[in-house]
Structure 1
């Protein structure tokens, strides 16, 4: 099989297309013929060498969609369309940047879909993260939500879901050229959310992370909630002093993708909503496997507005 192998830590050039043996099936794991995989910034950071637990060479990819080729789980037989997300995929074992992936049965989510593979591949990590983050915020109809990192695929998905729940949305972007692609009540390029909501939003979904989390705590209304669910600016908040930096009564929480692993029911609902036209899949660019280095360079240069996808096979 053909696979994109990260041979060592470094730039996009360390992703090499190689011929590898198709993985041998073992108990508790099933073989999936991969048709497409969504790309994520966590894979970019792993490729750069910022994931100490990852041993190279490694086939990256924390998510993929495809069809079960050989099953060890009677509940998910051969021929089933599945999505797989997280569970140390592409980190502790080879992931979605390959024509076949041997995956733990616990990660497989059987779904029914009429969507093209590249559209389906844009949904699992993005929309499950968005839905899980909004659940962590406990959004309610009529509330006001600020999304920091609005042009990310998760930010765009969260805005779509929130709007469907009757929540007012404001999104931020540092790039004016991307503003036209955003669908929200307020798109903030240079201004402050306090210009549109002087009392502050009820909720902040912070996808930028370390660099903006403290400011998010300051702009949310007193008693509001901030959820950090992204790390576009890194993992750590330097010199973080909780008592000094978290206003009294304001809540700070986080979303971890692992909590949505295996939630086929949630993903099926999302797929159904996309098929019905309620949500947009927000696919920005589709690359072929041979173009994986270019796809990583595209992500690294922050060119995308939405999801970047790589296709592995053509039907």
Structure 2
């Protein structure tokens, strides 16, 4: 029987980590088109950090953050998803237009539910949805395929998406280089599957990268985004492709002039994980889960926090201490 109240981490206003408060709230009432999920774990994402800081449009406070979660269906209006089913959910304005995964229960649109069969522990499963769906979608956008002979550079390699992309690319047999600002994180990237690790001290990576690949990479997955996208366009080989799929440095490229800044013939694309939510993402996520269970992909869990430690979890993420995925368990 579902309790009538639940604990949730509520963002009470825009600000620093201290604006996250654990409160007792009513369990949301199920309504048509929505299902109640008992949240077992939720991955943390830097987009939630920016929402907390007040940078996300259409967000009113107080708000329970969390753009993803995994758990068990407690009550459903979807006849195809029974109570007790293990599900994951990502995006679709979770934690923005409606309350998200930082809680013991989440009321979610049926269209977001992805039923999953797995034997993985909850904290490991929670590290996969947003991270691996984004990494897979970005690699697809780049044209990185199994058995491919191309060379892939991942900028922002120790982000959870970067480590997932390294893991997938390694499974594909693709040669991979990844960047980190912290020399102490080189081992984590190597373990994730990167063949080469470059320490990014700021500025262009050209010298270090060309010592490894004189002709440059064929593909660049840029997870840093605004600060590095233009530089990435000049690092990739002529005719290569850059995919921006992260915003570690923000969302906007100042004074961006496409004709002047994109070398002739070089391709610039992007990927947003909203493209793989719900039924579109379910088969991809199920395959990722199977690969993790088989030991082919790594879950790359950095740390697991309890709900009461949500402030510390956000500080850990904001201070760039993580190498991989940060998970919260209600």
Taking structure 1 as the reference length, the TM-score comes to 0.98
Work out whether 1:288 is the aligned partner of 2:298: no
Q: Following the alignment from structure 1 to structure 2, what is the Cα–Cα distance between the partners of residues 108 and 192?
A: 44
Matches within 5 A, 1:182-201: 182-183=189-190, 184-190=194-200, 192-201=208-217
Q: Which residue of 1 aligns with 2:297?
A: 279
Q: 1:31 aligns with which of 21, 30, 36?
A: 36
1:64 match: secondary structure: strand
Q: Following the alignment from structure 1 to structure 2, what is the Cα–Cα distance between the partners of residues 94 and 161?
A: 31
1:18 match: secondary structure: strand
Deviations 1:58-96 (A, max 9, x none): 000000000000011111110000000000000000000
User: Could you tell me how far 1:194 is from its partner in structure 2?
Assistant: 1.5
Q: 2:153 aligns with which of 146, 149, 165?
A: 146
User: Could you tell me how far 1:52 is from its partner in structure 2?
Assistant: 2.7
Q: Which residue of 1 aligns with 2:11?
A: 6
Work out whether 1:211 is the aligned partner of 2:227: yes
Q: Following the alignment from structure 2 to structure 1, what is the Cα–Cα distance between the partners of residues 23 and 70?
A: 21
Matches within 5 A, 1:130-279: 130-140=135-145, 141-183=148-190, 184-190=194-200, 192-262=208-278, 263-279=281-297
Work out whether 1:98 is the aligned partner of 2:114: no
User: Could you tell me how far 1:53 is from its partner in structure 2?
Assistant: 1.4
User: Could you tell me how far 1:163 is from its partner in structure 2?
Assistant: 1.3
1:182 match: secondary structure: helix
Indicate the RMSD between aligned Cα atoms, in angstroms: 0.7
Q: Following the alignment from structure 1 to structure 2, what is the Cα–Cα distance between the partners of residues 75 and 89?
A: 21
Q: Which residue of 1 aligns with 2:322?
A: 304
Mean Cα deviation higher: 62-71 or 178-187: 178-187
User: Could you tell me how far 1:165 is from its partner in structure 2?
Assistant: 1.2
Q: Following the alignment from structure 2 to structure 1, what is the Cα–Cα distance between the partners of residues 209 and 257?
A: 24
User: Could you tell me how far 1:16 is from its partner in structure 2?
Assistant: 0.4
Q: Which runs of 5+ in 1 are unaligned?
A: none
Q: Which runs of 5+ in 2 are unaligned?
A: 1-5, 201-206
Q: 1:52 aligns with which of 37, 54, 57?
A: 57
Work out whether 1:128 is the aligned partner of 2:133: yes
Work out whether 1:109 is the aligned partner of 2:153: no
Runs of 4+ in structure 1 deviating by more than 4 angstroms, as ranges, are none
Deviations 1:126-182 (A, max 9, x none): 000000000000114111000000011100000110111121100011110111111
